[in-house]
Every structure is written in C-alpha cells, then in structure tokens.
Copies of this chain bind each other. A is one copy, B any other.
Amino acid sequence: MKSFSDRLADAVRRNASPVVVGLDPRADRLPPPLACDAAADVCRLAEAYELFCREIIDVVANSVAAVKPQSAFFEQLGPPGLAALHAVIEYARAKNVLVILDAKRGDIGSTAEAYAAAYLGQSSAWKADSLTVNPYLGGDSLAPFVAAAHQQQAGLFVLVKTSNPGSADFQDLQCEGRPLYRHVAARVEALAAEQLGECGYGSIGAVVGATHPEQLAELREAMPHAWLLIPGYGAQGGGAQDVASGFDAQGLGAVVNSSRAIIFAHQRPEYARFAPSDWQRAVEEATLAMRDELTANN
C-alpha cells in the first residue's frame, strides 16, 4: 500500500478537491427523515448517526479528499455511539474514501502505543487512515504514534495552531524567541521530513486553523514537508482567500475541513429549495460549492 501522504495526494488529484467533510453528527440537527428522540433511545440515535454518515459518504465520495469523523459526538452516545463510529469508518474505507479520525489523542509510553495500535491502519481496531494528535506531552509522546503511522502506512495530524480564539492562550506565547506553535511546527516538520512520499510530503502533518491567515502562511513555510489539515472554514469564519497560502503550486500540501456548513446544509437558506427528504442533495451541492471556491484560483 502507498503511504498515507501519497494516498491523500491521489485523492486530492482524483477528485480535484482539497475538501475534507467533517462528520460531526448531532441529535438536534439531523435531517428530518433521520430525526429521533435522543433521550428516548440512544441505540436508535446511534443508528441514525451511522446512517447519516453513510449517506454523506455516498454523496461526497467523489468530491472530497477525505472525511473526518469527530470522535466526540460518537463518544457522547456511549458504547452504541462507538459501534456507529466503527461502522462509519469501515463504510468509508469500503467506498475508498480516506478517513482522518479527529480524536486529538495524546499520552505517553505504552499508553500512546495503545492509542496508536487502536486507531492507525488496517490492522488496528478502528482502521483509520490517519488520526489527529495533541503535542502537549512532548516529542516522546508523539514517537509511538509516528512509529505506528510509518509501519501501518497511516498518517497523523499534530495540533499546531488551532482555529479557536483561545488558541492564543498558550500556542501564541513567546517561548525562547518564537511562539510556542513554531516550536511544535519545527518538531512536526522534522517528523514529516523523515519519510517523504512521492508527492513530496510526509505522512506526519499539522492542524493549522483557517482563522489565522498570517500564521497559516508562516506555518506553511515553516513546515514545507507537512500536509496541513485546515479547520475553521465556513461556520468558523475562514474563507477561500484565508486558506490559499496553504497550497503549493500543484494544489497539494493542504486539505480544508468543513463540518456543519456541509453536513447540515439542509438547514442553510440557500439550500431551502430541497425537500427535507432530499437533504443529501444539499450536502452534495454544499460540497461542490466549497470545492469550487477552493479551486477557483488554481
């Protein structure tokens, strides 16, 4: 199997799309055909989440670089939610859609090894193609994830500069001459450069929010070999111009996530023309519109 980095590049090229659709199901925003009483029956709700995500995967399979299930919303339902997450990942893989599992894990030693063995690659329990991880615990906490990623042809996205306003609290602190996020970025770049794919990028990438365009440009330069996963597009306020500096001349090097604006597109005024039973068409149109916005200047 190719490296995660090259599989991601292939998906971007094949679908002419750097779009990542975030799978963040929520009981109170499901399309009417899938609505169910969250309080009454958590197992039915978990089934609704699974069906919702499967339908989205069907619709976006040929217009996205990857899907990004957000583990939190599945964990919120307890064990039935996690069975649904497992089924969603399996479904995406069967449809040849790359999965970036957004779980922001991080721990040390054998615990980090357990997380890596849990999530990364075909031989893991969850079989994700890649995983988001949190760097706060330091380089030796990332090492087991990196080792597993390389061994399993899987990928990582390390949090570097997140899209929320509070990311400034610690990530922007000036530490020994540069912001903390630059220290983390230097570590990510070194890890990315260890094993480069044919596309020129490694399988160890970085999360950099769309809401900080100047820092995105700075971090693109600081991590020339790292894929950037850019959240914060759409609902959080980032636009196409804000993320433009993430891409190289071939349109590679970055993928851009949108969750709510796509998966709940049926609730957006511009897609009110679709009947509730046609919510998938709203998802489809919102995905294609985002792809067009992002690739208009290519």
Contact = CB atoms under 8 A, between A and B. Distances in A.
Interface string A60-104: 000000000010110111110111001000000000000000001
B171 A136 contact: yes
A179 to B, nearest CB: 9
A169 B138 contact: yes
A168 interface: yes
B175 A125 contact: no
Contacts of A107: 72, 104
Interface string A30-48: 0000000000001000000
A83 B110 CA distance: 22
B114 A141 contact: no
A164 B176 contact: no
Contact-residue bracket for chain A: 35 or more
Interface string A171-186: 1011110001001100
B159 A140 contact: no
B166 A81 contact: no
**Majority DSSP secondary structure for residues of A touching B:** helix
A211 to B, nearest CB: 11
A78 B86 contact: yes
A168 B183 CA distance: 12
Contact of A137 (B115, B167, B173): B167
B78 A111 contact: no
A134 B108 CA distance: 13
A31 to B, nearest CB: 18
Contacts of A86: 78-79
Contact of A163 (B78, B105, B108): B108
25 contacts: A24-B110, A73-B114, A75-B114, A75-B115, A76-B117, A76-B118, A81-B125, A82-B82, A104-B105, A109-B164, A134-B136, A135-B136, A136-B136, A136-B162, A138-B164, A138-B165, A138-B167, A139-B166, A139-B169, A141-B164, A141-B166, A170-B180, A173-B176, A174-B175, A175-B175
5 tightest CB-CB pairs across the interface, nearest first?
Answer: A138-B166, A140-B166, A78-B125, A138-B169, A173-B175
